[in-house]
Amino acid sequence: MIGFFVGVASGVVQYLLLQKFTGFVSKGKLNGKAIMFAIVQFLFPFAVLVACAFLLGESLMWVGIGMAASLIICAVVRFVITAKNKKQD
């Protein structure tokens, strides 16, 4: 079950990295910092999954489930907050 919590934590980090990168892209600021966020966001899940494969081999499925679930939940929460804020304006 520790794999699930590792997956959730890494999924939240992935979401934050992706949010930073898309913020740069949507503002039209595709500079070195944005490219760094893109590369880190792309390589981070691979690094987590490889590390967990060696350390928590039997929990690797739970790591993937936790990553996917936290990415979906973070996106839905962000959408609801944004929609609620736009509705109030």
Mean pLDDT confidence for 2-13 = 93
Split into its structural domains, the chain has a count of: 1
CA distance from start to end of the chain = 43
Neighbouring residues of 75: CB distance < 8 A, sequence distance ≥ 6: 15
For residue 37, count other CB atoms closer than 10 A to its CB.
20
Q: Show the tokens assigned to 81.
A: 């907050």
Q: Report pLDDT digits (tens) over 34-62.
A: 889 889 989 999 999 999 999 988 889 99
Instruction: Give me the domain span that covers residue 84.
Output: 2-88
> H or E stretch including 9?
helix 2-26
Look up the pTM and report it. 0.83
- Provide the mean pLDDT of the chain: 91
> What pLDDT does 89 receive?
67
